[in-house]
Amino acid sequence: MRTDQTSAGRPAPGGGGGTRAAVLGSPIGHSLAPTLHRAAYAAMGLDRSYEAIECDEPTLPALFDSLGDDWAGLCLAVPLKRAVLPLVDEVSDLALDVGGADTVVFRHGRSFGDHTGVHGITTAFHQAGLRAPGSAVVLGGGAAACSALAALREVGVREPVVVVRERDHAREAEAAAGRLGVSVELRHFGELDRLLRGVAVVVSTLPAGAADTLAPAVAHSGAAVLDAVYSAWPTRLAKAAGFAGSTVVDGLSVLLHQTVRQIELLTGLTDVPVAEMRRAARDELVRRAARETEPAVSGGKLL
């Protein structure tokens, strides 16, 4: 399915040709994607499989070329989203602008790369009533920030502020902003108090725990908050904003709606069971949290 040239074009067509799909990444065992996809397929009565496959950048080309006609597509984690671009036959304009494809659909012997993360963010924004926030501060400058910039553009924010610890950490976001036609202002975390004055929404793309020390300042600003973290929810940032009476959007909602779009692309179907997926994801997160708090036992004795 690999070609010598990648071309920008239409979004990936709905409905892959096969019945197998997987999420790729390294490490990938933590991914909620199998839980979400399997819950949806079961509720929709679809005979499809979905798995998590350990794969890094060096092994991606060989794995990609090994897939047969029974494969409907792939979902990709960072940094494979960028690495997959030269491997697909067509790439959507959005995926090129953001700088990566998180979903690849195989159909009629060709591969189509698209980006669904932006859909996840914009849908979560809309459901929270954030349809035209006007101004935004993005915490972090990596791949997730690129998706956030594209989503903010969709809701009318053309001049967001991107806050990073070092300018080099914003290279991806700065490049994506240029492709998206968005004018970003790069600032340091030491300026955050000033930058938050009067801002409408704060989007944190930082890893779990990294925004903890920023929670008081963000909560004091009164801004709506979208925190991309979903595995350790609610985060300290989300708690602080919620106690302050601000609108809070959780990372699970973003992931959920991103996955809905992926399922639409992979199956060609649009009646995706969101409630069943959310319930399955929450149950799985509860199980994981319980496992993490279980005491270790050896030979019948607590360690």
| pLDDT tens, N- to C-terminus, the chain (303 residues) | 444 334 445 556 677 779 999 999 999 999 999 999 999 999 999 999 999 999 999 999 999 999 999 999 999 999 999 999 999 999 999 999 999 999 999 999 999 999 999 999 999 999 999 999 999 999 999 999 999 999 999 999 999 999 999 999 999 999 999 999 999 999 999 999 999 999 999 999 999 999 999 999 999 999 999 999 998 899 999 999 999 999 999 999 999 999 999 999 999 999 999 999 999 999 999 999 998 876 655 554 444
d(CA 197, CA 199): 6
Which phi and psi angles does 248 have, rounded to 5°? -125, 130
| Residue 129 · residue 81 · CB < 8 Å | no
**Same domain assignment for residues 31 and 104:** yes
**Same domain assignment for residues 85 and 128:** no
**Same domain assignment for residues 192 and 215:** yes
pLDDT digits (tens, 9 = 90+) for 215-272: 999 999 999 999 999 988 999 999 999 999 999 999 999 999 999 999 999 999 999 9
Whether 68 is in a domain gets the answer yes
| Residue 163 · residue 189 · CB < 8 Å | yes
**Same domain assignment for residues 11 and 103:** yes
**Same domain assignment for residues 92 and 217:** no
**End-to-end alpha carbon distance in the chain:** 51
- Tally of domains in the chain: 2
> What predicted TM-score, i.e. pTM, was given to this entire model?
0.92
Range of the structural domain that residue 187 is part of: 119-253
CATH number of the domain to which 138 belongs = 3.40.50.720
The reported pLDDT for the residue numbered 292 is 82
**Same domain assignment for residues 100 and 157:** no
Backbone dihedral region for residue 194 (phi beyond 0: left; psi -120 to 50: alpha; all else: beta): alpha
d(CA 57, CA 176): 21
Whether 297 is in a domain gets the answer no
**Same domain assignment for residues 226 and 273:** no
Just list the catalytic residues.
81
